[in-house]
């Protein structure tokens, strides 16, 4: 009997054949990709705000240039991902509206305030570190445009993580006040960084299907565990302690055991009640409105160009 379209599709996935925009795909596959890629893009764009807050207050030109470059990269990642998302047949304006009206999520981590200069280093080390852990497997995602976008994004994320860690290494060799600022920052960002990987697998409505479709190559818990294992040694080099009394090497498992995440806090932030949720969206809406003239000018110019072209062809 002829294999159904779904069966043929799943065979392609099982044989690691990339799915491209013009290929047939189950509506649910398309929808979950739009959901994940658009929220990923929103995270990149909103993620510019916490760090943008410190560009004018960087302690020297070298730090300012690195931070400027990083924030600019995040904008590029967002635009890259919106373009990948549009290949699934959704308009950019609709995606932006979903963010501004709260219909779409973005990573919870960006709803926390950046209170000290050390936060710029901790974000690079932990937030971009977690992003890299989660994004490298996405370079092998079954959907072609998303996987290809991730290759360049991951290369730039490595610079983000490196510059953050180096900033913290400098503080770790500084004055007692700088060491204290470093430790206080890590205390605030450690647990929210673990939340970036999403709920435990048992509580994740999407992971099983995303694994079957090879959108995800590892589960939330697997990536979170790898991240914890990697950070413990890095924290030792910085001379900081991670704020988890249950963190302990488990010889049998070959991994670090760690404490329970505060899932009430996680869902509270995801539902819009984090310290900065309202401020982040208001800032995004205002920036979008203030940029209307740029979009109008660009489309007027594009229209003029196409009129010129059609006249010259006629």
Nearest of 110, 114, 142 to residue 40 by alpha carbon: 110
Among 29, 33, 44, 164, binds ligand 3HC (CB under 6 A): 44
Nearest of 67, 179, 65 to residue 123 by alpha carbon: 67
Instruction: Draw the binding track, 107-146, toward ligand 3HC (x: CB under 6 A; -: no contact).
Output: xx------------------xx--x--x------------
H-run or E-run covering 242:
none
Closest CB 251 distance from ligand 3HC, rounded Å: 29
Distances in Å between the Cα of 264 and the Cα atoms of 56, 193, 242, 260, 280 are: 35, 15, 21, 11, 21
Stretch near ligand 3HC under the rule CB under 6 A, chosen from 199-207, 233-241, 243-251, 255-263: 199-207
Instruction: Assign 143 to helix, strand or coil.
Output: strand
Closest CB 81 distance from ligand 3HC, rounded Å: 9
Site membership for ligand 3HC, residue 206 (CB under 6 A): yes
Closest CB 35 distance from ligand 3HC, rounded Å: 5
Instruction: Please give the Cα distance from 179 to 43 (Å, whole number).
Output: 30
Stretch near ligand 3HC under the rule CB under 6 A, chosen from 104-112, 237-245, 290-298, 302-310: 104-112
Angle at alpha carbon of residue 264, lines to 258 and 268, rounded to 5°: 130
Closer Cβ to ligand 3HC, 256 or 266, answer by number: 266
User: How many chain residues touch ligand 3HC (CB under 6 A)?
Assistant: 29
Please, is 126 exposed, middle or buried when counting C-beta atoms within 10 Å of its C-beta (0-12, 13-18, 19+)? buried
Closer Cβ to ligand 3HC, 35 or 179, answer by number: 35
Instruction: Please give the Cα distance from 276 to 269 (Å, whole number).
Output: 9
Closest CB 167 distance from ligand 3HC, rounded Å: 15
Closer Cβ to ligand 3HC, 123 or 242, answer by number: 123
Distances in Å between the Cα of 134 and the Cα atoms of 102, 138, 162, 189, 290 are: 24, 7, 16, 17, 33
Site membership for ligand 3HC, residue 36 (CB under 6 A): yes
Site membership for ligand 3HC, residue 47 (CB under 6 A): yes
């Amino acid at each position: 009997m002829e294999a159904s379209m779904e069966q043929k599709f799943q065979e392609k996935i099982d044989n690691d054949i990339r799915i491209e925009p013009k290929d047939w795909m189950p509506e649910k596959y398309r929808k979950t990709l739009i959901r994940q890629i658009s929220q990923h893009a929103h995270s990149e764009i909103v993620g510019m705000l916490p760090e943008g807050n410190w560009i004018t207050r960087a302690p020297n030109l070298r730090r300012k240039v690195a931070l400027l470059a990083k924030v600019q990269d995040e904008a590029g990642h967002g635009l890259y991902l919106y373009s990948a998302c549009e290949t699934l047949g959704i308009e950019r304006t609709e995606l932006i509206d979903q963010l501004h009206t709260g219909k779409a999520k973005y990573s919870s981590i960006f709803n926390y305030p950046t209170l000290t200069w050390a936060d710029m280093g901790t974000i690079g080390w932990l937030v971009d570190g977690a992003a890299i852990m989660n994004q490298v497997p996405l370079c092998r995602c079954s959907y072609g445009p998303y996987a290809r976008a991730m290759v360049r994004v991951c290369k730039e994320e490595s610079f983000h993580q490196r510059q953050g860690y180096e900033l913290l290494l400098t503080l770790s060799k500084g004055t007692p006040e700088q060491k204290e600022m470093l430790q206080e920052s890590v205390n605030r960002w450690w647990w929210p960084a673990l939340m970036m990987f999403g709920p435990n697998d048992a509580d994740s409505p999407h992971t099983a299907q995303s694994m079957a479709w090879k959108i995800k190559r590892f589960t939330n818990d697997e990536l979170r565990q790898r991240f914890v294992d990697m950070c413990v040694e890095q924290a030792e080099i910085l001379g900081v302690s991670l704020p988890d009394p249950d963190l302990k090497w488990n010889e049998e498992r070959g991994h670090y055991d760690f404490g329970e995440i505060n899932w009430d806090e996680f869902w509270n932030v995801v539902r819009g009640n984090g310290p900065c949720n309202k401020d982040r969206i208001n800032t995004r809406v205002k920036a979008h409105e203030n940029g209307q003239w740029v979009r109008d000018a660009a489309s007027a110019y594009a229209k003029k160009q196409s009129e010129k072209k059609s006249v010259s062809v006629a």
